[in-house]
Amino acid sequence: MSAEEQRVAALDAADPLAGFRDRFAIADDALAYLDGNSLGRLPRATPARLAQVVEQEWGERLIRSWGEGWMELPRRVGDAIGELLGAAPGQVVVADSTTVCLHKLAAAALAARPDRDEIVTDVDNFPTDRYVLEGLARRRGATIRWLDADPSPEQVAAAVGPRTALVSLSHVAYRSGRILELDAITRIAHAAGALTLWDLSHSGGSVPVGLDAAAVDLAVGCTYKYLNGGPGAPAYLYVARDLQDRLRQPIWGWIGRRDPFSMEPGYEPADGIAAYLSGTPPVLGIAAVEVGVRLVAEAGIESIRAKGIALTELALELADRWLAPHGVAVGSPRDAAQRGAHLALEHPDGERLCERLAQRGVIVDFRAPTTLRLGLSPLTTRFADVLRGVAVLRDLMEEST
């Protein structure tokens, strides 16, 4: 065992979260899966929970299950997610996709600021966020003020003003992993009279968020990354309690209506967060999300955050020593306090390297044009996986020189 191997073995042995890896289905223990920030692993409890929903709740109880728990799923699982995000109950629901949730809340925000015609976001916000905002801006005749990637509070302050309706950013940047200053930026937006919409896809379940404490207005997030909800699992949305009855989302469906089974004429929004639902809840998807969320809650977001820092610190150190000499640049913040649970490595040959890593049992992902992301989902990633991933990448670089 090399000195490095001994060192990571000691880190894994001392890891208070190490036992959580056994709570996930791991078919190939040697696989270095550094992509849990794109698709989180399968919790071991998920197949049994899905079998229960499918075989008993659907197969046996049939339509009666709507009255025996299904109708409450969006709110029940939403509240569990809210707890991870620092949101008091009654402000989060699970629904739709992240894209549709973004659309609903951004549209609601723009409608609430009819006299303002600017949206602030950044050029490297996740693509679907940018496209949703572009679509809404086009229809509203609004303008997007594009900030540089990963904007600082100062950059946001320089962009907002009396015309700003909405500031919409990702809390943890999907490419660099930078944690944006959610508190400061929210204050700056509010001081300008704008609303805020945060995308928590890369922070929910990996770093503390503190939505209520920061007085965030609106947020959305994805459940198939750090929350381990499964491929294409439904998303969540947050609307601060004091805004729920003042804003109005645009997709008026029966599940968001007051007393939906009255089938009455005329849409009237339900009270509270339920008004932000539209269609029939996707029961299978939400049930799977619940299992992942409960695991994250059991581990505790502070412990998860601490391990995320330790994993990315190790990756950063190894990248500096082993990869920098081969022209690989670190694309993430060097200060752990400013960095989420993934590390971006930049290399012009990134796409081919990603494929070659996979051939050697190291799964990372590539984000055009040059970014390799090492996603180090704390509940399922070992320090040994980090070592292996960086070492294999170093070997590939050495072979190609």
- Are 42 and 24 within 8 A, CB to CB? yes
Note if 129 is an active site residue. Answer: no
Q: Which residue of 15, 20, 32, 41 would you call a contact of a copy of itself, by CB under 8 A?
A: 41
Q: Which of 122, 124, 150, 199 is catalytic?
A: 199
Angle at alpha carbon of residue 383, lines to 382 and 389, rounded to 5°: 95
* Contact call for residue 348 and a copy of itself (CB under 8 A): no
- Told to judge if 307 belongs to the known catalytic residues of this protein, a careful annotator would answer no
Q: Which of 200, 233, 299, 341 binds a copy of itself (CB under 8 A)?
A: 233
Question: How far, rounded to the nearest angstrom, does the alpha carbon of residue 209 sit from its chain's CA centroid?
Answer: 11
**H-helix or E-strand spanning residue 41:** none
Assess contact for 364 and 389: CB atoms under 8 A: yes
Q: Does 263 bind a copy of itself (CB under 8 A)?
A: yes
Strand 362-363 and strand 32-33: pairing? parallel
Residue reference for tokens 């969540």: 236
Establish whether 115 is a catalytic residue. Answer: no
Which residue from 76, 97, 157, 272 is in contact with a copy of itself, where contact means CB under 8 A?
97
Asked whether position 288 contacts a copy of itself by CB under 8 A, the answer is yes
Six token digits for residue 398: 């050495």
Q: Choose, by CB under 8 A, the member of 14, 25, 324, 329 that binds a copy of itself.
A: 25
Amino acid at 155: Q
Catalytic residue among 20, 224, 236, 383: 224
Stretch that binds a copy of itself, among 36-44, 84-92, 114-122, 314-322 (CB under 8 A): 36-44
Q: How far is CA 285 from CA 68, 170, 264, in A?
A: 17, 24, 29
Q: How far is the CB of 275 from a copy of itself (least distance, A)?
A: 12
State the nearest-atom distance from the C-beta of 14 to a copy of itself, in Å.
Answer: 27
For 250, the token pair is 């645009």
Residues 194-223 that bind a copy of itself (CB under 8 A): 222
**Per-residue exposure over 303-338, b if at least 16 CB sit within 10 Å of its own CB, e if not:** ebbebbbbbbebbbebbeebbeeeebebbbbeebeb
Q: Are strands 118-122 and 164-170 parallel, antiparallel or unpaired?
A: parallel
Pick between residue 70 and residue 322 the one whose CB is nearest to a copy of itself. Answer: 70
CA nearest to 88, candidates 269, 285, 244, 302: 244
Segment 133 to 192, residues that bind a copy of itself, using CB under 8 A: 134-135, 139
The binder of a copy of itself chosen from 100, 240, 309, 311 (CB under 8 A)? 100
Least separation, in Å, of the C-beta of 257 and a copy of itself?
6
How many residues touch a copy of itself under the rule CB under 8 A: the total is 79
For a copy of itself, which is the closer residue by CB, 14 or 123? 123
241 binds a copy of itself (CB under 8 A): no
- Which contiguous run of DSSP H or E holds residue 235? strand 235-239
What x-and-dash track marks residues 42-71 binding a copy of itself by CB under 8 A? x---xx--xx--xx-xxxx-xxxxx---x-
Phi, psi of 148 (to 5 degrees): -60, 160
Nearest Cα neighbor of 166 from 203, 124, 199 is 199
Q: Is 360 a catalytic residue?
A: no
Question: Catalytic residue among 75, 104, 175, 225, which?
Answer: 225
3-state secondary structure of 171: coil
Q: Which stretch binds a copy of itself (CB under 8 A): 84-92, 124-132, 292-300, 341-349?
A: 124-132
Token digits for 107? 């549209």
Residues from 77 through 96 that contact a copy of itself (CB under 8 A): 96
Q: From the candidates 126, 174, 276, 383, which is the catalytic residue?
A: 126
Compare residues 59 and 208 and give the one whose CB is closer to a copy of itself: 59
Respond yes or no: is residue 236 known to be catalytic: no
Rounded Cα distance, 335 and 338, in Å: 6
Q: Is 115 in the site for a copy of itself (CB under 8 A)?
A: no
Q: In the bound complex, what is the minimum distance in angstroms from residue 251's beta carbon to a copy of itself?
A: 5
Q: Which one-letter DSSP state was computed for residue 18? A: G
264 binds a copy of itself (CB under 8 A): yes
Active site residues: 126, 199, 224-225, 373
